[in-house]
Amino acid sequence: MSDTEQDDAKRRQRARFVDALTKTAQQPGDRSRVGTKVAGAAAVLALAAGATLGFGAWRSYQSDQNTKKHLAAEEAAQQRRIVPSSPSASPSPGEQHKERKKPAGQPPAGGGAAGHDVPPVETKPSHSPKAKPSKPAGTTVDRLLSAGHSRVLLKNAKSGMCADVTGYDGGKPDDTIMQYYCDGTDKDNQLWSMVVRGAGKGPGGSDLISFVNVKDGLCLDLPGYGGLPPGWGAVEGVCNTATPDNQQWWLDPAGGGTVRIRNQASDSLCLEVRDDSTERAAQLQLDKCGTDADSRWTVLS
Protein backbone atom coordinates (compact mmCIF):
# COMPACT_ATOMS: atom_id res chain seq x y z
CA MET A 1 0.00 0.00 0.00
CA SER A 2 1.36 3.45 -0.94
CA ASP A 3 1.81 6.32 1.52
CA THR A 4 -1.22 8.12 0.07
CA GLU A 5 -3.50 5.10 0.50
CA GLN A 6 -2.31 4.65 4.10
CA ASP A 7 -3.13 8.32 4.89
CA ASP A 8 -6.64 7.94 3.40
CA ALA A 9 -7.30 4.80 5.47
CA LYS A 10 -6.26 6.56 8.68
CA ARG A 11 -8.51 9.53 7.94
CA ARG A 12 -11.51 7.23 7.33
CA GLN A 13 -10.80 5.38 10.61
CA ARG A 14 -10.69 8.65 12.57
CA ALA A 15 -13.93 9.77 10.94
CA ARG A 16 -15.72 6.57 12.02
CA PHE A 17 -14.38 7.00 15.55
CA VAL A 18 -15.63 10.57 15.81
CA ASP A 19 -19.03 9.53 14.44
CA ALA A 20 -19.36 6.80 17.08
CA LEU A 21 -18.47 9.24 19.86
CA THR A 22 -21.01 11.72 18.55
CA LYS A 23 -23.79 9.13 18.63
CA THR A 24 -22.85 8.19 22.18
CA ALA A 25 -22.88 11.86 23.21
CA GLN A 26 -26.54 12.15 22.10
CA GLN A 27 -27.76 9.76 25.02
CA PRO A 28 -29.45 11.40 28.03
CA GLY A 29 -27.87 12.03 31.45
CA ASP A 30 -24.29 12.47 32.60
CA ARG A 31 -23.21 9.94 30.12
CA SER A 32 -24.27 12.31 27.43
CA ARG A 33 -22.26 15.17 28.87
CA VAL A 34 -19.23 12.97 29.35
CA GLY A 35 -19.65 11.67 25.82
CA THR A 36 -19.89 15.17 24.55
CA LYS A 37 -16.66 16.12 26.24
CA VAL A 38 -14.98 12.99 25.01
CA ALA A 39 -16.30 13.60 21.53
CA GLY A 40 -15.08 17.19 21.60
CA ALA A 41 -11.67 16.12 22.78
CA ALA A 42 -11.52 13.45 20.13
CA ALA A 43 -12.52 15.97 17.46
CA VAL A 44 -9.79 18.34 18.62
CA LEU A 45 -7.29 15.50 18.52
CA ALA A 46 -8.49 14.51 15.06
CA LEU A 47 -8.18 18.05 13.79
CA ALA A 48 -4.72 18.35 15.29
CA ALA A 49 -3.69 15.06 13.74
CA GLY A 50 -5.12 16.17 10.41
CA ALA A 51 -3.27 19.44 10.62
CA THR A 52 -0.07 17.59 11.45
CA LEU A 53 -0.57 15.25 8.53
CA GLY A 54 -1.42 18.17 6.25
CA PHE A 55 1.72 20.05 7.27
CA GLY A 56 3.74 16.90 6.73
CA ALA A 57 2.23 16.45 3.28
CA TRP A 58 2.98 20.10 2.45
CA ARG A 59 6.58 19.67 3.60
CA SER A 60 6.84 16.49 1.52
CA TYR A 61 5.49 18.39 -1.50
CA GLN A 62 7.95 21.23 -0.95
CA SER A 63 10.78 18.71 -0.60
CA ASP A 64 9.80 17.11 -3.90
CA GLN A 65 9.67 20.52 -5.59
CA ASN A 66 13.09 21.47 -4.25
CA THR A 67 14.51 18.13 -5.35
CA LYS A 68 13.14 18.62 -8.87
CA LYS A 69 14.54 22.13 -9.04
CA HIS A 70 17.91 20.87 -7.87
CA LEU A 71 17.91 18.06 -10.42
CA ALA A 72 16.82 20.47 -13.15
CA ALA A 73 19.66 22.83 -12.24
CA GLU A 74 22.16 19.97 -12.31
CA GLU A 75 20.83 18.82 -15.69
CA ALA A 76 21.16 22.33 -17.11
CA ALA A 77 24.69 22.61 -15.78
CA GLN A 78 25.54 19.23 -17.28
CA GLN A 79 24.17 20.33 -20.65
CA ARG A 80 26.27 23.48 -20.51
CA ARG A 81 29.34 21.35 -19.90
CA ILE A 82 28.45 18.96 -22.74
CA VAL A 83 27.49 21.63 -25.29
CA PRO A 84 30.21 24.30 -25.33
CA SER A 85 29.53 27.81 -26.46
CA SER A 86 30.07 28.51 -30.17
CA PRO A 87 33.74 29.29 -30.81
CA SER A 88 34.73 32.40 -32.68
CA ALA A 89 35.29 31.89 -36.38
CA SER A 90 38.87 31.02 -37.21
CA PRO A 91 40.48 29.98 -40.50
CA SER A 92 40.89 26.30 -41.09
CA PRO A 93 44.29 24.79 -41.71
CA GLY A 94 43.38 24.74 -45.37
CA GLU A 95 42.46 28.43 -45.32
CA GLN A 96 45.57 29.34 -43.36
CA HIS A 97 47.58 27.53 -45.99
CA LYS A 98 45.82 29.46 -48.76
CA GLU A 99 46.92 32.70 -47.19
CA ARG A 100 50.47 31.72 -48.15
CA LYS A 101 49.47 31.17 -51.76
CA LYS A 102 49.90 34.03 -54.12
CA PRO A 103 46.34 33.85 -55.51
CA ALA A 104 44.85 34.56 -52.05
CA GLY A 105 47.62 36.46 -50.29
CA GLN A 106 49.42 39.74 -50.72
CA PRO A 107 53.04 40.20 -51.71
CA PRO A 108 55.45 41.06 -48.91
CA ALA A 109 56.16 44.68 -48.17
CA GLY A 110 58.81 46.19 -50.37
CA GLY A 111 58.36 43.51 -53.04
CA GLY A 112 58.45 45.96 -55.91
CA ALA A 113 55.67 47.38 -58.00
CA ALA A 114 55.53 44.29 -60.20
CA GLY A 115 54.73 42.09 -57.17
CA HIS A 116 51.38 43.71 -56.41
CA ASP A 117 48.02 42.17 -57.28
CA VAL A 118 47.50 44.52 -60.20
CA PRO A 119 49.10 43.93 -63.58
CA PRO A 120 52.17 46.09 -64.03
CA VAL A 121 51.89 48.81 -66.63
CA GLU A 122 54.60 48.17 -69.17
CA THR A 123 56.17 51.12 -70.90
CA LYS A 124 55.68 50.98 -74.64
CA PRO A 125 58.88 51.10 -76.67
CA SER A 126 59.87 54.56 -77.70
CA HIS A 127 59.49 55.51 -81.34
CA SER A 128 62.41 57.88 -81.12
CA PRO A 129 64.91 57.58 -84.00
CA LYS A 130 67.57 56.85 -81.38
CA ALA A 131 65.83 53.65 -80.23
CA LYS A 132 68.00 50.58 -80.71
CA PRO A 133 66.59 47.71 -82.76
CA SER A 134 65.85 44.51 -80.83
CA LYS A 135 68.42 41.78 -81.05
CA PRO A 136 67.63 38.60 -82.95
CA ALA A 137 66.52 35.65 -80.83
CA GLY A 138 69.64 33.68 -81.61
CA THR A 139 71.81 36.52 -80.37
CA THR A 140 69.69 36.74 -77.20
CA VAL A 141 70.17 33.04 -76.48
CA ASP A 142 73.91 33.20 -77.11
CA ARG A 143 74.22 36.25 -74.88
CA LEU A 144 72.31 34.59 -72.04
CA LEU A 145 74.29 31.37 -72.20
CA SER A 146 77.59 33.21 -72.25
CA ALA A 147 76.84 35.64 -69.43
CA GLY A 148 76.87 33.35 -66.41
CA HIS A 149 73.27 32.20 -66.88
CA SER A 150 72.18 33.50 -63.45
CA ARG A 151 69.20 35.45 -62.07
CA VAL A 152 66.87 35.52 -65.05
CA LEU A 153 63.11 35.93 -65.31
CA LEU A 154 61.05 33.79 -67.70
CA LYS A 155 58.32 36.10 -68.98
CA ASN A 156 55.43 34.75 -71.02
CA ALA A 157 54.83 36.60 -74.28
CA LYS A 158 51.03 36.37 -74.05
CA SER A 159 50.22 37.06 -70.39
CA GLY A 160 53.22 39.21 -69.54
CA MET A 161 53.61 37.18 -66.33
CA CYS A 162 56.66 35.26 -65.15
CA ALA A 163 57.36 31.62 -64.29
CA ASP A 164 56.92 31.43 -60.54
CA VAL A 165 56.80 29.11 -57.52
CA THR A 166 53.90 29.01 -55.06
CA GLY A 167 54.26 31.48 -52.18
CA TYR A 168 57.15 33.86 -51.70
CA ASP A 169 59.66 31.69 -49.86
CA GLY A 170 61.62 28.75 -51.21
CA GLY A 171 59.48 25.94 -52.54
CA LYS A 172 59.76 22.18 -52.13
CA PRO A 173 59.79 19.23 -54.54
CA ASP A 174 56.54 18.81 -56.48
CA ASP A 175 55.42 22.39 -55.85
CA THR A 176 53.52 23.77 -58.83
CA ILE A 177 55.24 26.06 -61.32
CA MET A 178 52.79 28.78 -62.35
CA GLN A 179 52.72 32.28 -63.79
CA TYR A 180 52.42 35.39 -61.68
CA TYR A 181 53.08 39.12 -61.85
CA CYS A 182 56.78 39.57 -62.48
CA ASP A 183 59.00 40.54 -59.56
CA GLY A 184 62.72 40.37 -60.19
CA THR A 185 63.70 41.14 -56.59
CA ASP A 186 64.84 38.79 -53.85
CA LYS A 187 61.49 39.30 -52.12
CA ASP A 188 60.00 36.71 -54.48
CA ASN A 189 61.07 33.34 -55.88
CA GLN A 190 60.88 33.98 -59.64
CA LEU A 191 64.60 34.24 -60.36
CA TRP A 192 66.27 31.30 -62.11
CA SER A 193 69.84 30.36 -62.98
CA MET A 194 70.43 28.79 -66.39
CA VAL A 195 72.96 25.98 -65.97
CA VAL A 196 74.37 24.24 -69.06
CA ARG A 197 74.19 20.44 -68.61
CA GLY A 198 75.18 19.43 -72.12
CA ALA A 199 76.92 21.99 -74.32
CA GLY A 200 75.89 21.48 -77.96
CA LYS A 201 74.04 18.21 -77.18
CA GLY A 202 70.54 19.47 -77.94
CA PRO A 203 68.73 19.56 -81.31
CA GLY A 204 70.61 21.61 -83.90
CA GLY A 205 73.65 21.83 -81.63
CA SER A 206 71.76 23.75 -78.94
CA ASP A 207 72.83 23.53 -75.31
CA LEU A 208 70.84 21.41 -72.86
CA ILE A 209 70.18 23.50 -69.78
CA SER A 210 68.51 23.32 -66.38
CA PHE A 211 66.60 26.19 -64.78
CA VAL A 212 67.59 26.31 -61.11
CA ASN A 213 65.49 28.45 -58.78
CA VAL A 214 67.74 31.00 -57.07
CA LYS A 215 65.85 30.96 -53.76
CA ASP A 216 65.46 27.22 -53.13
CA GLY A 217 68.01 25.56 -55.46
CA LEU A 218 65.37 23.27 -57.03
CA CYS A 219 64.99 22.74 -60.77
CA LEU A 220 62.19 23.42 -63.24
CA ASP A 221 61.06 19.82 -63.63
CA LEU A 222 58.35 17.37 -64.66
CA PRO A 223 56.90 14.43 -62.70
CA GLY A 224 58.89 11.20 -62.90
CA TYR A 225 62.03 10.78 -65.00
CA GLY A 226 61.01 9.94 -68.56
CA GLY A 227 59.34 11.81 -71.38
CA LEU A 228 55.72 12.88 -70.89
CA PRO A 229 52.84 13.70 -73.26
CA PRO A 230 51.11 17.07 -73.57
CA GLY A 231 49.13 18.24 -70.56
CA TRP A 232 51.57 17.34 -67.79
CA GLY A 233 52.14 20.23 -65.39
CA ALA A 234 55.55 21.64 -64.55
CA VAL A 235 56.79 21.30 -60.97
CA GLU A 236 59.90 21.88 -58.91
CA GLY A 237 62.23 18.94 -58.37
CA VAL A 238 65.60 18.10 -56.89
CA CYS A 239 68.20 18.86 -59.53
CA ASN A 240 69.50 15.59 -60.98
CA THR A 241 72.74 15.59 -62.93
CA ALA A 242 73.88 12.00 -62.30
CA THR A 243 71.21 10.17 -64.31
CA PRO A 244 69.05 11.02 -67.32
CA ASP A 245 66.03 13.06 -66.26
CA ASN A 246 63.30 15.17 -67.81
CA GLN A 247 64.46 18.45 -66.33
CA GLN A 248 66.74 19.37 -69.23
CA TRP A 249 65.49 21.99 -71.66
CA TRP A 250 66.73 23.76 -74.76
CA LEU A 251 65.94 27.20 -76.14
CA ASP A 252 64.42 27.47 -79.59
CA PRO A 253 64.53 31.02 -81.04
CA ALA A 254 60.98 32.16 -81.91
CA GLY A 255 61.54 35.68 -83.21
CA GLY A 256 61.08 39.08 -81.67
CA GLY A 257 63.56 38.37 -78.90
CA THR A 258 61.50 35.41 -77.65
CA VAL A 259 62.29 31.71 -77.35
CA ARG A 260 60.40 28.47 -76.93
CA ILE A 261 61.50 26.48 -73.89
CA ARG A 262 61.45 22.85 -75.06
CA ASN A 263 61.83 19.69 -72.99
CA GLN A 264 64.51 17.34 -74.31
CA ALA A 265 63.05 14.10 -72.89
CA SER A 266 59.46 14.79 -73.99
CA ASP A 267 59.90 14.96 -77.79
CA SER A 268 60.84 18.64 -77.46
CA LEU A 269 57.35 19.67 -76.32
CA CYS A 270 57.07 23.31 -75.27
CA LEU A 271 56.58 24.90 -71.89
CA GLU A 272 53.40 27.00 -72.02
CA VAL A 273 50.52 28.29 -69.90
CA ARG A 274 47.64 25.89 -69.33
CA ASP A 275 44.53 26.72 -71.40
CA ASP A 276 46.32 29.75 -72.87
CA SER A 277 45.33 31.53 -69.67
CA THR A 278 46.24 35.11 -68.86
CA GLU A 279 45.10 34.71 -65.25
CA ARG A 280 47.54 34.81 -62.37
CA ALA A 281 48.49 31.48 -60.78
CA ALA A 282 47.68 29.49 -63.95
CA GLN A 283 49.93 26.42 -64.05
CA LEU A 284 52.63 25.91 -66.64
CA GLN A 285 52.52 22.66 -68.61
CA LEU A 286 53.86 20.74 -71.57
CA ASP A 287 52.09 21.16 -74.90
CA LYS A 288 52.71 20.93 -78.60
CA CYS A 289 54.68 23.87 -79.86
CA GLY A 290 52.75 26.32 -82.00
CA THR A 291 52.76 29.91 -83.05
CA ASP A 292 50.63 31.05 -80.11
CA ALA A 293 52.20 33.64 -77.85
CA ASP A 294 51.58 31.57 -74.71
CA SER A 295 54.33 29.13 -75.79
CA ARG A 296 56.89 31.90 -76.29
CA TRP A 297 59.03 33.38 -73.54
CA THR A 298 61.31 36.33 -73.05
CA VAL A 299 64.37 35.57 -70.93
CA LEU A 300 65.09 38.71 -68.91
CA SER A 301 68.46 39.03 -67.21
User: pLDDT tens across 271-289, in order?
Assistant: 999 999 999 999 999 999 9
Q: In this predicted model, what pLDDT tens digit does every residue of 170-206 receive, in sequence order?
A: 999 999 999 999 999 999 999 999 999 999 999 999 9
Considering the entire predicted model, what is its pTM? 0.56
With residues binned 3-state (H G I as helix, E B as strand, rest as coil), the percentages for the chain, rounded to 5, are 35, 20, 45
Q: Are 25 and 39 in contact (CB under 8 A)?
A: yes
Q: Are 147 and 194 in contact (CB under 8 A)?
A: no
- Average pLDDT rounded to a whole number, residues 222-231: 96
Q: How many Cβ atoms from other residues are within 10 Å of residue 265's Cβ?
A: 18
Q: Are 225 and 108 in contact (CB under 8 A)?
A: no
Q: Return the minimum-mean-pLDDT range out of 84-88, 170-174, 222-226, 284-288.
A: 84-88
* Residue 129 pLDDT greater than 50, yes or no: no
Pairing of strands 284-287, 270-273: antiparallel
Q: Are 212 and 192 in contact (CB under 8 A)?
A: yes
Specify which of 8-22, 43-57, 207-221 reaches the highest per-range mean pLDDT: 207-221
pLDDT at 160: 98
Q: Return the minimum-mean-pLDDT range out of 65-79, 153-167, 189-203.
A: 65-79
CA distances from residue 125 to 122, 153, 173, 183, 255 in whole angstroms, order as listed: 9, 19, 39, 20, 17
Q: Return the minimum-mean-pLDDT range out of 27-31, 94-98, 172-176.
A: 94-98
pLDDT at 56: 58
- Average pLDDT rounded to a whole number, residues 281-300: 96
CA distance 68 to 117: 64
* Residue 79 pLDDT greater than 90, yes or no: no
**Residue 87: its H or E element:** none
Query: Which of the two residues, 197 and 149, has the higher pLDDT score?
Result: 197
What's the DSSP call for residue 241?
-
Query: What domains, with CATH codes, occur in the chain?
Result: 3-82 (no CATH), 134-300 (2.80.10.50)
On the 0-12 / 13-18 / 19+ scale of CB atoms within 10 A, 247 is: buried
